[in-house]
Structure 1
């Protein structure tokens, strides 16, 4: 399939919208076993929004991704005004504002952030199965770091699923992308796999946006992660296995998928399943590839919204808006809010 390279603006919009589409479809079956999914939707599982009754909603994955965008935007706004800003502090404040939307009180020791545009969007003020580590890490009032971690043993996928925006900042080095995503991951998760998983995913997006294929971008991300002093062998092992299995050309069934790569509840498994879903599928058009990949990403007994979100982020970065199925976009919750955040990121990065 040969398509014209999308613009940077199209990639930014599609990364956020594609992630929200995968998240939304996956959220409908997030806690269902594959047997229950098949019983409800047929042998092929859930493959389209028109199979859902009563509309769809995106989850905490999209919420936190958008708040990641907002933290980056605030830091870049300060920088563009000639004022040095602590990017991780801006992200921490953004995540604390997200925490408030979940009706969870932060410790009195935490700072009180000033409200921003995103905080006025009512659609984001719903509790949609947020991750426990994200909630507890932020509620602690401690600004977690690699040296002083909160949730030291947690490697849940809550770091990976919110990290695509770090790969969307133009004109910064892979080293800066990795450091930003790892430091932001440390705000809620302390396990090396959670931190390195966030770096691997954001580097993957970074290289795709720069024009690399998904497989080439993955290899580059792996090489970078492998050279870091921190180690998480399970991360490299799962990603390498996703590359190997997808190269064999046989699509795994849902049971085989989770046996080989995991259910996606932890960082390395979510990234591996999302990546495999993209690399093991194709289509005659970008939209067909998107639909096929999301079907693989969400139809399994696991964290379907996170694996769907990751696959959607990857495909959006690769193809731009051309890959977003028109009928799916009509079903997407609050696309204007997602586009609003994309436009804010573009305004501070491209003018």
Structure 2
């Protein structure tokens, strides 16, 4: 028998504490705005133009933008989604029931009025709310045609009476993270709220279902699920009876999301050209969600690796860069979601929403927050949502 002293194996590092619900709300809204803002700088550029402007790795950081960057209609509409939910919650907290989709429609109509489009005379009048006092939300930032035209009809679109019945643009999915941030409601209710709100402007099943699936990803993350677990959960809900009676999962949506999950697990990052070939450019709802989901999952750190706290150092391999820290993962995923020939602001906005909901504010780079347009407005809406949904 050896007389050498026994050594006790080193204990595995404790995982970081789960973020609070308030941190997840702030992280989701701010993270989406950061992705939106970085992507908006190159939204209409193809990958060759992006490389010509920013080098072979493309746009990686706000520091590369001499004049900074604005957020787009993606963040504007996400915040107006929050406001519509807030009004419904305020009515409920006062003991009065309200039609949530009607509250959202009225909120979107107030946004429409900021875009130089007359609000239809037939639409109900609604007094201005806190969100309407901020000039930054009144700038026209390349809003989607279907969002404008669907609201300009003056008709409250529904599943049974859709406006823009053939439109499946990404204007539904990019505004739908807030539905997943409301606690204490089940997955079926989250999906219905999100899909019904999508019907206000887009009638195609892929647009509604993509919005609903995205909201379910956020819902699962705020409940404590992991990134891959949340993606699998949300995909599974399409077959779990949450769709309207007689409605089937859109085959293009299923194909894109399954491809995103499969490719993310392949161990090799797609280059921007492959990304568009495999998942699409993101101009339509299912493609935008697929690209964002791929970017988040493909750059996720190895769960078997210990948590690291060293400052982020730029590395050529985004997977390696993401291998230990939430901020590094956020940077790597947003860079992947931005640099392609497509709807860069929407794909990066969705990716930022997902990671902010997962990690909370911890993942958000401080230097990026300093460059963000009107963070007080975003934080103001996040604080209001946290207060209305808190204990």
Same fold judged by TM-score > 0.5? yes
* Matched length: 351
Residue 133 of structure 2 corresponds to residue 120 of structure 1: yes
2:159 is paired with a residue of what secondary structure? coil
Aligned pair partner of 1:107 in 114, 117, 120: 120
Distance 1:344 1:326 in 2: 22
Residue 291 of structure 2 corresponds to residue 251 of structure 1: no
Residue pair 1:157, 1:194 contacting (<8 A) in 2 also:
yes
1:150 is paired with a residue of what secondary structure? coil
Q: CA RMSD in A?
A: 1.0
Residue pair 2:282, 2:291 contacting (<8 A) in 1 also:
yes
Residue 231 of structure 2 corresponds to residue 218 of structure 1: yes
Partner in structure 2 of residue 46 of structure 1: 59
Residue 220 of structure 2 corresponds to residue 207 of structure 1: yes
Q: Which runs of 5+ in 1 are unaligned?
A: none
Residue pair 1:199, 1:225 contacting (<8 A) in 2 also:
no
Q: CA deviation at 1:32?
A: 0.1
Residue 347 of structure 2 corresponds to residue 334 of structure 1: no
Residue pair 2:21, 2:386 contacting (<8 A) in 1 also:
no
Distance 1:109 1:226 in 2: 38
The farther-off stretch of 259-268 and 101-110 is 101-110
Richer in helix (by share): 1
Aligned pair partner of 1:34 in 33, 44, 47: 47
Residue pair 1:110, 1:141 contacting (<8 A) in 2 also:
yes
Residue 276 of structure 2 corresponds to residue 263 of structure 1: no
Distance 1:166 1:39 in 2: 38
1:226 is paired with a residue of what secondary structure? coil
Residue 167 of structure 2 corresponds to residue 151 of structure 1: no
Q: CA deviation at 1:266?
A: 0.3
- Give the TM-score of the pair, scaled to structure 2: 0.89
Q: CA deviation at 1:247?
A: 0.6
Residue 19 of structure 2 corresponds to residue 3 of structure 1: no
Q: CA deviation at 1:56?
A: 1.1
Q: CA deviation at 1:346?
A: 1.1
Distance 2:39 2:143 in 1: 14
Q: Which runs of 5+ in 2 are unaligned?
A: 1-12, 301-321
Partner in structure 1 of residue 360 of structure 2: 320
Residue pair 2:282, 2:289 contacting (<8 A) in 1 also:
yes
Residue 343 of structure 2 corresponds to residue 300 of structure 1: no
Partner in structure 2 of residue 170 of structure 1: 183
